[in-house]
Structure 1
Amino acid sequence: MTYCVGLRLRDGLVFMADTRTNAGIDNISVFQKLHTWAIEGERVVTVMTSGNLATTQAVISLLDERMKAPSERSPGLLEAPSMFQVARMVGETLREVIAENKAGGQEAQNRFNATLIVGGQIRGSQPRLFMVYPEGNFVEAGDDTPFFQIGETKYGRPIIVRAYRPDMSFEEAARLLLVSFDSTIKANLSVGPPIDLQVYEKDSFHVGVVRRFEANDPLLAEISKSWGEALSLALESLPLPALSDEVLEAG
């Protein structure tokens, strides 16, 4: 399983992805799911992947090959005129890989679906963030939907929905996402560290902070411990429901 989040802020974009993949509890591996390409001073493009590992690796490999040897039929992401066209190229590549796998007659044995988050900025336009579906179509983040999640999304979503602010600093956003990841890891063993973080500052056209949090990272341990304690204190501060016989009979 996977958990990845792309967050749209006033000052830029924040990406976070776990690295755990598994084919059963006794077959767990680490694979990078956050990939970035850039032309310094001109564009930065980031793709995060969730789904069938063979599919996502094929998509990333094809995108990488086409950037190294672009053609009129298969232009590379580093030649796209806009982030919309980048998302379109990624969607077309994903659809192509899935169609090829299904054509191989293995559809009944395995599902080759994948979902991707694509974000970045090209000079002359604003930072943009997209979620690309297995069919190749995509949607864009906006003021009403300022973040996207892929993979195991349900456990980490509530804290983002409640605490997100568009004017958060990058440090505050990273902390928020680490709490979201901690909640997911606690609830689902198929998601786990190392956790990759990347920050993109608006109009910098430069890959910003890149950091990997290993399982033994002191900050991860402190956030997990402090968040658990804070939740317990908040729960204890809430009013108790009245459950006496008199109240129940009156109800």
Structure 2
Amino acid sequence: MTYCVGLKIDRGLVFMSDTRTNAGIDSISTFRKMKLWEKPGERVIVLMSAGNLATTQAVVSLLDERTKAAADRAPTLYEMPSMFQTARLVGDTVKEVIAQSAPAGQTADSSFNASFILGGQIKGSEPRLFMIYPEGNFIECSDDTPFFQIGETKYGKPILVRAYDRRMSLAETVKLLMVSFDSTLKSNLSVGLPLDLAFYEKDSFKIGLNKRIGADDPYYSSVSDGWSDALKAAFQSLPDFSE
């Protein structure tokens, strides 16, 4: 299982993903689920993945390989004129990988499924954020839907819905995501540390923050402990039921 969040604020785009993959309770591994592409001054692209690990790795590897031999393998992520066209390219690559991997009759809804969060900015347009489905189609975030989640979404969503504000600072946004991920980690053992965090500041055309957060990270520990204490205090402050 996986948990990834892409979130849009006034300052730019913030991304966080876990790194746990498992094929059973006794087979747990760590894989990076966030991939960054950057052409300073021109474009930044961030892609996070959830679903079948072989499928997601094949999609990311294929996209990355084509950027390294662009003359022979066009189109590439570095040639797309807009983030919308970039989302189409990723969606087409998802369909290509699933079609090549699956036996006759296999569909995107089966064991080969994969979903992605794509975000970034290409010079001449605004930062944009998309969620790409296993079928290759996609939707874009809006004022009504300012963040996307993929993977194990239900435990970390309530705090995002309640506390998100597009005017939040980066520090506040990271705190919000930490709480969302901590709630998920405590509720589902198939999501686990370390976490990958990235921040793209609007119109900078370079990654502003790219950090891995492990179990020994003091800020993560303080947020986790503080949130637990705050929930207990809030619960205890509620009136008792009277018969």
TM range (shorter): over 0.9
Work out which of the two has the higher radius of gyration on C-alpha atoms and give 1 or 2.
1
Trace 1:185-196 onto structure 2 (pairs within 5 A). Answer: 185-196=185-196
| Aligned-partner Cα distance in 2 for 1:49–1:195 | 14
Number of equivalences: 241
Partner of 2:227 in structure 1?
227
| Aligned-partner Cα distance in 2 for 1:185–1:77 | 33
Kept after mapping to 1: 8 A contact 2:70/2:76: yes
Partner of 1:2 in structure 2?
2
| Aligned-partner Cα distance in 2 for 1:71–1:103 | 31
1:239: Cα distance to partner?
2.4
Partner of 2:77 in structure 1?
77
Secondary structure, aligned partner of 1:191: coil
Kept after mapping to 1: 8 A contact 2:196/2:213: yes
How big is the alpha-carbon RMSD for the aligned residues of Structure 1 and Structure 2?
1.5
* Unmatched tracts of structure 2, length 5 or more: none
Render the CA deviation track for 1:211-235: whole Å, top value 9, x for unaligned: 1011221222111110000001111
1:238: Cα distance to partner?
1.9
TM-score in terms of structure 1 length: 0.93
| Aligned-partner Cα distance in 2 for 1:12–1:146 | 12
1:105: Cα distance to partner?
7.9
| Aligned-partner Cα distance in 1 for 2:189–2:95 | 30
1:66: Cα distance to partner?
1.2
Partner of 2:14 in structure 1?
14
| Aligned-partner Cα distance in 2 for 1:152–1:24 | 16
Render the CA deviation track for 1:80-116: whole Å, top value 9, x for unaligned: 0000000000000011101111137887xx7110000
1:199: Cα distance to partner?
0.3
Trace 1:21-60 onto structure 2 (pairs within 5 A). Answer: 21-60=21-60
* Unmatched tracts of structure 1, length 5 or more: 245-251
TM-score in terms of structure 2 length: 0.96
| Aligned-partner Cα distance in 1 for 2:105–2:55 | 15
Partner of 1:127 in structure 2?
127
Trace 1:1-251 onto structure 2 (pairs within 5 A). Answer: 1-70=1-70, 74-103=74-103, 111-242=111-242, 244=243
Kept after mapping to 1: 8 A contact 2:42/2:122: yes
